[in-house]
């Protein structure tokens, strides 16, 4: 009798990081950002340690699907073009991340520009009402996209007579450390539009175009980012300023609570998952002897030993390059000290915004931190668990985005519901 085959746990790659990446892309199928067959076919023959083959698989898939989109657009098939441009943008986004494991970064910027071009061409052919908004930020601007829940005709009517149509709730989407704008479409924007919310996505400091094209690094005090974003949106005639929510994905699960400790205008927020101490995902696998050097301030010795260790493991070195790049700090010890600033313990008690915190079983980057965040902000935080039995385990529930959307937006609908005032009040 043949042995039982468990496709869910067996995974799609012998490499855990690649398996998770594939799961994440497949999760985008629920919002049109992937086609399962073409994804699995593209990666089927890539060997676990073949870094160039991994990059080529995603880059070539992006090229092929972008070609389909371009041909469809030329033939006047806008719906087909839009669908393919969205998928191409998702595939190129994986290729962008895959550059970190290559010998040099020469392919990074051209690959990113292919991704962003596919995204922009999807925006232009999608039939959605999308407005590009540049958010003023410290002498520069953050590029953003405002997705209107209204159709084109309604939007024109609102512009002509703002009083004719009531303003709607708005969801502001805050990305993670390495996610693309396409990933935020899957994470929350598509779901927001389905439920009648407007949605806004943007590149913050250290994210995507702000990093790759402008070398602007991350910052731990994200209130300095969220506040100007809200300033650019609250006075719009189509936005109900009393019903603005914020959604933080992945490392956005740190940035959003951090900002909400100081910025109290949002009426509700979601973090998927909760992140209290970003550095924990860096240090939990480091040898204790190495961390002791850091604690004792022996940065030269720490850097020496780190350099030696990374020379022995190309995979670990690639991971370090990938994760450290957005901080733009020289030196291993100095980088880790910068990451250690990303800690909510001293500020979480200041949060007054109702906060939904997801907690997936098997969270591999920040295990236990969703529960800790709820303990730190017990008066405002609500925990929602996701399990492997539901197919909803691992960081950001990659294969359970429909279930995540349902639970998140049901909670948001209730949190943002207008307060009914009776005669007795």
Find the radius of gyration of the CA atoms of the chain: 22
Q: Which residues of 222-240 are buried (b: 16+ CB within 10 A; e: fewer)?
A: bbebbebbbebbeebebbb
* pLDDT for residue 29: 98
Confirm if 146 and 133 have CB atoms less than 8 A apart: yes
**CB atoms near residue 329 (< 10 Å):** 16
Nearest to 175 by CA among 239, 271, 307, 243: 271
Confirm if 145 and 202 have CB atoms less than 8 A apart: yes
* pLDDT for residue 425: 47
Assigned CATH class of 12-127? mainly alpha
Round to whole Å and give the CA distance between 330 and 159.
Answer: 49
**CB atoms near residue 45 (< 10 Å):** 9
129-278+342-416 folds as Rossmann fold (3.40.50)
Q: What is the separation of C-alpha 404 from the centre of its chain, rounded to a whole number of angstroms?
A: 14
* pLDDT for residue 420: 46
Q: What is the separation of C-alpha 390 from the centre of its chain, rounded to a whole number of angstroms?
A: 22
- The owner of tokens 């909803």 is 392
Confirm if 249 and 187 have CB atoms less than 8 A apart: yes
The full set of domain ranges for the chain reads 12-127, 129-278+342-416, 280-339
Length in residues, the chain? 425
Mean pLDDT by runs of 10 across the 425 residues of the chain is 76 93 98 98 94 97 98 98 98 97 94 98 97 97 97 62 80 97 98 98 98 98 98 97 98 98 98 98 93 96 95 89 95 97 98 98 98 98 98 98 98 85 47
Confirm if 287 and 306 have CB atoms less than 8 A apart: no
pTM, 2 dp: 0.95
Round to whole Å and give the CA distance between 22 and 259.
Answer: 31
**φ, ψ dihedrals at 347, nearest 5°:** -125, -15
Structure tokens at 88: 């191409």
Check for a shared fold between 12-127 and 129-278+342-416: no
* pLDDT for residue 351: 98
């Amino acid at each position: 009798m043949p042995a039982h085959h468990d496709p869910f746990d067996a995974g799609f790659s012998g490499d855990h990081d690649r398996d998770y990446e594939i799961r994440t892309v497949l999760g985008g199928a629920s919002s049109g950002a992937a086609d399962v067959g073409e994804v699995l076919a593209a990666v089927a023959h890539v060997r676990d340690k073949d870094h160039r083959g991994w990059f080529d698989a995603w880059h070539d898939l992006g090229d092929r699907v972008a070609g389909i989109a371009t041909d469809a657009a030329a033939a006047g098939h806008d719906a087909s073009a839009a669908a393919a441009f969205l998928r191409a943008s998702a595939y190129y986004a994986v290729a962008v991340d895959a550059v970190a494991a290559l010998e040099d970064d020469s392919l990074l910027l051209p690959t990113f520009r292919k991704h962003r071009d596919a995204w922009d061409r999807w925006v232009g052919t999608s039939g959605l009402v999308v407005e590009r908004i540049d958010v003023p930020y410290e002498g520069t601007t953050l590029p953003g996209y405002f997705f209107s829940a209204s159709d084109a005709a309604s939007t024109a009517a609102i512009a002509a007579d703002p009083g004719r149509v009531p303003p709607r709730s708005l969801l502001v989407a805050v990305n993670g450390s390495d996610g693309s704008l396409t990933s935020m479409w899957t994470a929350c924007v598509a779901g927001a539009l389905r439920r009648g919310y407007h949605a806004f996505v943007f590149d913050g400091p250290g994210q995507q175009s702000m990093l790759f094209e402008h070398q602007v690094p991350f910052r731990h005090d994200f209130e300095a980012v969220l506040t100007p974003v809200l300033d650019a949106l609250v006075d719009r005639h189509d936005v109900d300023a009393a019903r603005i929510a914020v959604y933080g994905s992945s490392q956005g699960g740190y940035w959003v609570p951090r900002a909400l400790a100081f910025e109290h205008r949002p009426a509700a927020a979601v973090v998927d998952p909760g992140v209290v101490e970003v550095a924990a995902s860096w240090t939990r696998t480091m040898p204790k002897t190495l961390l002791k050097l850091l604690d004792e301030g022996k940065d030269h010795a720490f850097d020496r030993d780190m350099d030696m260790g990374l020379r022995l493991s190309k995979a670990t070195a690639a991971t370090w390059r990938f994760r450290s790049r957005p901080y733009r700090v020289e030196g291993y010890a100095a980088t880790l000290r910068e990451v250690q600033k990303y800690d909510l313990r001293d500020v979480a008690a200041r949060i007054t915004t109702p906060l939904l915190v997801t907690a997936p079983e098997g969270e591999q980057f920040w295990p236990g931190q969703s529960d800790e965040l709820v303990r730190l902000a017990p008066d405002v935080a609500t925990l929602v668990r996701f399990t492997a039995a539901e197919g909803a385990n691992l960081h950001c529930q990659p294969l359970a985005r429909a279930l995540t959307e349902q639970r998140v937006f049901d909670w948001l609908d209730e949190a943002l519901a207008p307060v009914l005032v009776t005669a007795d009040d």
